[in-house]
C-alpha cells in the first residue's frame, strides 16, 4: 500500500468522499476512481457499469468493482444521466490500476451544476485521507 505522499492526486480534479474523481468536460462529467481507491482495492479484475441512458441520483450505486480482495460498490457523486461508459474496462479492468486518471469509468450529463459545489477539492480530499 502506498503512503499518502506517494499517491497521485491531480490538483485539477474534484473528489468525492467515496474516493471517486470527477472531471468537468464541457456539459458532461467524467468519473473514475482515485489512486487511493485503486491502491486499497488491489488488482481490479472486473468492472460492472450501467448502460448509457440510465439515470442516477447523487449517492446511488452505479456499478461494482471487483478486485482480488473484495467487491466494492461505486457510488455516483452527482445526479445525472449516463452518456457513455468506458468499454475498454470490460476487457481490461486492470487499466484502473495502471492509470486510474486516464481510465474513467462513466461519463454523465449532470442534472444540476450546483452539485459540483459539494465535491472535494484536491486539498479537501488530502485532508480526508489524512484523517
| pLDDT tens-digit map of 55-69 | 999 999 999 999 999
User: pTM to 2 decimals?
Assistant: 0.96
| Residue pLDDT, tens place only, 84-103 | 999 999 999 999 999 999 99
CB 77 within 8 A of CB 93: no
CATH number of domain containing 72: 2.40.50.100
Q: Please indicate, yes or no, if residue 1 is contained in any of the structural domains.
A: no
CA angle 74, 7, 67 (to 5 degrees): 40
Q: Please indicate, yes or no, if residue 5 is contained in any of the structural domains.
A: no
pLDDT band at 115 (very low <50, low <70, confident <90, very high): very high
**CA–CA separation, 22 and 16 (whole Å):** 8
Q: Supply the range of the domain harboring residue 82.
A: 14-130
Report the first-to-last Cα separation within the chain, whole angstroms. Answer: 17
Q: Please indicate, yes or no, if residue 83 is contained in any of the structural domains.
A: yes
Number of domains in the chain: 1
- Phi/psi for 22 (5° steps) reads -135, 130
Question: How long a stretch of residues is the chain?
Answer: 131
Amino acid at each position: 500500500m502506498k503512503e499518502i505522499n506517494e499517491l497521485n492526486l491531480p490538483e485539477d480534479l474534484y473528489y468525492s468522499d467515496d474516493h471517486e474523481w470527477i472531471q468537468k468536460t464541457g456539459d458532461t462529467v467524467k468519473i473514475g476512481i482515485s489512486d487511493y481507491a485503486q491502491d486499497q482495492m488491489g488488482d481490479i479484475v472486473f468492472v460492472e457499469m450501467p448502460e448509457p441512458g440510465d439515470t442516477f441520483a447523487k449517492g446511488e450505486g452505479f456499478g461494482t468493482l471487483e478486485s482480488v480482495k473484495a467487491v466494492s460498490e461505486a457510488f455516483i457523486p452527482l445526479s445525472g444521466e449516463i452518456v457513455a461508459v468506458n468499454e475498454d474496462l470490460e476487457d481490461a479492468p486492470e487499466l484502473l490500476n495502471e492509470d486510474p486518471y486516464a481510465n474513467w469509468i462513466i461519463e454523465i450529463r449532470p442534472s444540476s451544476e450546483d452539485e459540483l459545489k459539494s465535491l472535494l477539492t484536491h486539498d479537501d480530499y488530502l485532508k480526508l485521507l489524512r484523517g
